[in-house]
Amino acid sequence: MAEHHIRVLVAKPGLDGHDRGAKIVARALRDAGMEVIYTGLRQTPEQIAAAALQEDVDAVGISILSGAHNTIVPRILELLHAQGQQDVLVIVGGIIPDQDIVALKKTGVAEVFQPGASTEEIVKFIRSRVKEPA
């Protein structure tokens, strides 16, 4: 069997264009040997879910800084679940206040990375939670 790399979709939903974090994480995951698909800016939840299915990814990383996470993130999870991708690891990074984390995790978010998180932590987390197939 050919070598399988962890496949990650890095998604930037909402109207915000601040992509410094998303692009740094995408590059760090690539440097760590993962296959990364970056959606580009201003993707709707529907576009993100469609990309996750089409690219058959192991994980989806959602970058959001605008404060719209309580509206946008649950919708992405709903769509992923509806299309049978319950097993896809979903992580969120950006400006997410502590008090919103519990609710996001209830919808199925595996982890939230707040400002100051290191790319190494993110790489480690994905590796620990996505089983690399033999």
Partner 1 sequence: MPKNPGTEAETEALRKPSESEREWQEKTLAPWLQKFPERQSEFTTLSDVPVNRLYTQADLADFDYARDLADPGQFPFTRGIHKTMYRGRLWTMRQFSGFGTPEDTNRRLRYLLEQGQTGLSIAFDLPTLMGYDSDHPLAEGEVGKCGVAVSSLADMETLLAGLPLESVTTSMTINSPAAMIWATYLVAAEKQGADWKKISGTTQNDILKEYIAQKEYIFPPAPSMRLVVDTIIFGAREVPHWNPISISGYHIREAGSTAVQELAFTLRDGIEYVEWVSRSGMSVDEFAPRLSFFFNAHNDLFEEIAKYRAARKIWARVMKERFGTTNPRAWMCRFHTQTAGCSLTAQQPYNNVIRTTIQALAAVLGGTQSLHTNSLDEAWALPTEQAATLALRTQQVLAHESGVTNTVDPLGGSYFVERLTLETERAALDYFRRIDALGGMVAAIEKGFPQKEIHDAAYAYQKAVERKEKFIVGVNDFVTDDKRPIELLVIDESVARHQNEKLAKLRRERDGRRVERSLEGLANAARSDANLMPRILECVRAYATLGEMCDVLRVPGAS
Residues that bind partner 1 (CB under 8 A): 14-20, 23-24, 27-28, 41, 44, 66-68, 70-72, 95, 97-99, 114-116, 118-120
List residues bridging with 7 in a β-sheet: 35
Contacts of 96 (CB under 8 A, 6+ apart): 64, 69, 104, 112, 114
Give the shortest CB-57-to-partner 1 separation in angstroms: 22
Contacts of 20 (CB under 8 A, 6+ apart): none
Give the shortest CB-115-to-partner 1 separation in angstroms: 4
The residue among 43 and 58 lying less far from partner 1, judged by its C-beta, is 43
Give the shortest CB-120-to-partner 1 separation in angstroms: 6
Contacts of 109 (CB under 8 A, 6+ apart): 73, 77, 90, 91, 92
Secondary structure class of 45 (helix, strand, coil): helix
Secondary structure class of 11 (helix, strand, coil): strand
The residue among 68 and 103 lying less far from partner 1, judged by its C-beta, is 68
The residue among 58 and 90 lying less far from partner 1, judged by its C-beta, is 90
Give the shortest CB-88-to-partner 1 separation in angstroms: 22
DSSP state for residue 15 in the 8-state scheme: S
The residue among 58 and 72 lying less far from partner 1, judged by its C-beta, is 72
